[in-house]
Chain A
C-alpha cells in the first residue's frame, strides 16, 4: 500500500498526542505529574490537531471533510472523526480545570479525555483492521499495536515535559514499560504477518484454478493507473528487514533505556535524556508507520502480479 506522507504523519502525530492526553488526564489529577500540566495539554492538542489537519490533505475534497462524521453506524473512519471531535470537549475542560485549579473537574475531565483518547486511537486502528483485502492490516494485533504505540509515544513525551518541570519518575517508568510492551507486540506482529499465508490466490481471484496454475499473459494496460499507484506500492520493501531493525533499536529499545536512565539519574540530565528519547521514539514511529503501509499487500494486485 502507498504510504501517503499525510497519513503517516497523521497517525504518528495524533497517536502521540492522544497518548499524551491519555496519560495526562489519568496522572495529572492524581498528582503524579509535576507542574500545572498545561504545557503538556497544549502539546497534546497541537499534535492531535496537526495530525487531523494533515489527514485532510489526503482527501480529494477536503472542504467536504465535515461530512465524514455522518456514517458512524457503519464506518470506522466516521467513528474516528466523531471520537476525535468529542474528545476535544473534555480535553479543553481539563485545560480549564488545570488553569483555574479545580481538582474535581480536572479528575472528571481528565478521565473523560483519557477515555476519548483511547476510543479515538482504537477507531484509527480499526479503520485498518477492518479491511479484509489487506491481510497485514486485517490482523488481531493491529489495534493493540496502535494503542500500545500511542501509549508509548505519549508517555515518553509526558516524561520529557515532567522532567523539565523537575520530577516525574512515574511517566518515565510508564514510558519504559509501554515501550517494552510495544516492542514485544510489534515483534510478535511482524513474526505473525511473515508466517501467515496469503488470503487469496490468483487462482481463486480468477476462478481458473481448476485448469491449473495461473500466470499473467498480458496486462490490461501498459501504463500506470490509480490501483497500481495506491495498492501496488512496493518501493523499498526490500529494505523492510533493515528498517524493522532500525525502528526496533532506535525507536523502541533506545528510548526505553534512556527513560530508565532518566529515572535513575534525575535532574537536568534526565530531561535531556528524555528529550533525545522522545525524538528517537517519534522518528522510530514514523519508520514503523511507513513500514505498516509499505509492507501491506492488497488482493487486487493478484490480478496484476499473480
Chain B
C-alpha cells in the first residue's frame, strides 16, 4: 500500500547523519554504495557506455561541492546527497502500483522492483533527486539504507551498517535510529544542531546534516621568520647589523 504508515511516538526512524564539517568530498561513500548495491537488494545498477564518452549510470549517492559565504567566512563544503527516508515522502503516496512503500518497522523507503511500472512519477515527487530510473530494467531504484547489510546476520555485527557509513575515512557519516532521542545519532544531532534539507517543502526528512563548525577566529598570518645574524655571511655586514641593532 502506498498510504503512509501511522507514525507513533517512539517510532524507529533509521537514517543517516552527515557531518558537513568533516566530509572531505573523497567520493568513497558514493563508490562503496555503488559497489555494494550493484549486487544487493537493488542490483544490478546499470552503467551505460561505461568505457567511453557519455558514461553514466544509476547511483544512490552523489557528492556535490559548494562554496558558501564570502571572504574570511567563505568556505568549501562537500555535500553528499542521497535518500533522506522522509517521514512524509510523496514519492510513496504518488506511486500508482504500490511498488513504492515506507516500512512501518524502521521507516526505510523502498521500491518493490517486481511491482514498479517505471512511470517515473515518484522521481518527480522527490524534491531531493533521490530516485534514479534503471533504464535497462525499466524500474525505479533508490537508496535502501543498505537494508541487506544492516539486518544481515551473515556478516560480522560491526559491519551491519550502510556501506557509505562503513567506508567514510573521516567518519563524517553516522547511522542509527533518529526516532530514539537517546541514540548516538540523535544526541549528535542535538549537540551539533543538525538540519533537515528543504524543510519548507514539508517532507520531514529523517536524515540530518550537521553544519560546518564556526571558525571562531581566523588564524593570524604566520609571522615571517626574521633573519638571524648568522644568516649574514659577510663579516663586515654582520658587524654593521650588530651595531645598528643596538
Contacts and interface: CB of A to CB of B under 8 A. Distances in A.
A binds B: yes
Interface of A: 1, 58-62, 64-65, 67-71, 73-78, 81, 127, 130-134, 199-200, 202, 204-221, 223-227, 230-231, 298-300, 303-304
Contacts of A58: 119-120
A303 B129 CA distance: 9
Interface in B182-207: 195-203
14 contacts: A64-B97, A67-B96, A67-B117, A68-B119, A75-B94, A77-B96, A130-B125, A205-B197, A212-B73, A215-B66, A218-B64, A226-B123, A226-B132, A304-B64
B74 to A, nearest CB: 7
A212 B211 CA distance: 13
Contacts of B134: 60
Contacts of A68: 96-97, 117, 119
Contact of B135 (A60, A131, A217, A219): A60
A71 B98 contact: yes
A220 B30 CA distance: 10
Contacts of A71: 1-2, 95-98
A220 B96 contact: no
B129 A59 contact: no
Contacts of B63: 220
B117 A134 contact: no
A78 B186 CA distance: 37
A226 B68 contact: no
A211 B127 contact: no
Interface string B41-57: 00000000000001111
Question: When A and B form their complex, which 6 residue pairs have the shortest distance between CB atoms, in order from nearest?
Answer: A60-B118, A60-B138, A212-B69, A300-B129, A78-B96, A220-B62
Contacts of B140: 60
A65 B96 CA distance: 9
B2 A206 contact: no
A60 B2 contact: no
B202 A132 contact: yes
Contact of B96 (A1, A70, A205, A298): A70
B94 A77 contact: yes
A303 B64 contact: yes
B133 interface: yes
Contact of A60 (B70, B90, B96, B137): B137
B111 to A, nearest CB: 12
Contacts of A65: 117
B128 interface: yes
Nearest to B124: A131
Interface string B116-160: 111111011111110011110111100000000000000000000
Tell me the dominant secondary structure on chain B's binding face. Answer: loop
Given A131-B94, A227-B132, A208 B197 contact: no
Contacts of A60: 116-120, 133-135, 137-140
Interface of B: 1-4, 20, 25, 30, 54-59, 62-70, 73-77, 79, 81, 90, 92-99, 115-121, 123-129, 132-135, 137-140, 195-203, 209, 211-212
B56 A133 contact: no
B68 A208 contact: yes
A200 B200 contact: yes
B99 to A, nearest CB: 8
Given A67-B98, A220-B81, A224-B54, A59 B64 contact: no
Contacts of B199: 204
Contacts of B135: 60, 226
B58 to A, nearest CB: 7
A304 B79 CA distance: 12
B197 A223 contact: no
Contacts of B3: 73-74
A67 B92 CA distance: 15
B201 A75 contact: no
Contacts of B94: 74-77, 127, 130-131
Contacts of A219: 64
A207 B197 contact: yes
Contacts of A132: 90, 125, 127, 201-203
A292 to B, nearest CB: 13
Contact of B66 (A208, A231, A298): A208
A151 B120 CA distance: 28
Contacts of B67: 214-217
A199 B201 contact: yes
Given A60-B116, A206-B77, A225-B57, 10 more contacts: A60-B139, A64-B97, A67-B117, A74-B4, A78-B97, A127-B121, A133-B124, A206-B79, A214-B68, A216-B66
